[in-house]
Structures are given as structure tokens and as C-alpha cells.
């Protein structure tokens, strides 16, 4: 896979740091915890369909 470097693209990590702070800050920890909860519920929901 070729990697293309572009100044107008932002990685997810860069976006989260800019908008929610670095890991370990309260706002960022809340975001990450909410994301993990979402993933767990989606995996559980998808497994029930099988």
C-alpha cells in the first residue's frame, strides 16, 4: 500500500489530540471510554445477528 503525504489530511490521533487533548486528560479519556463502549456494543449486536 502506498502512503501519500498531504498537508490537508489529518490522522485520527491528530484530530483527537487537537479537539480532545492528549491521552490522559479528562476530556480525552471520556472520549476513548465512550468509543470503547460503542465498539463493545456493536460487536455484541453483530454477533447476535449471526
What's the pTM value of the predicted model, to 2 decimals?
0.60
Distance, CA of 37 to CA of 10 (rounded, Å): 24
CA–CA separation, 37 vs 46, rounded Å? 14
**For residue 4, pLDDT beyond 70:** no
pLDDT band of residue 24 (cuts 50, 70, 90) is: very high
Q: Would you say residue 36 lies in a domain?
A: yes
Among the residues of 1-50, which ranges form H helices? 12-20, 26-49
Q: What does pLDDT average to over the chain?
A: 86
User: What's the confidence (pLDDT) of residue 28?
Assistant: 95
pLDDT band for position 23 (cuts 50, 70, 90)? very high
18 assigned to some structural domain: no
The number of domains in the chain is 1
Residue 18 — φ and ψ, nearest 5°? -65, -40
Q: At what angle do helices 26-49 and 12-20 cross, to 10 degrees?
A: 130
Residue 7 located in a structural domain:
no
In angstroms, how far is CA 16 from the centroid of its own chain? 8
Amino acid at each position: 500500500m502506498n502512503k501519500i503525504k498531504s498537508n490537508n489530511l489529518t490522522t485520527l490521533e491528530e484530530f483527537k489530540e487537537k479537539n480532545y487533548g492528549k491521552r490522559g486528560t479528562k476530556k480525552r479519556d471520556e472520549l476513548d471510554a465512550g468509543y470503547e463502549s460503542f465498539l463493545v456494543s456493536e460487536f455484541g449486536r453483530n454477533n447476535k445477528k449471526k
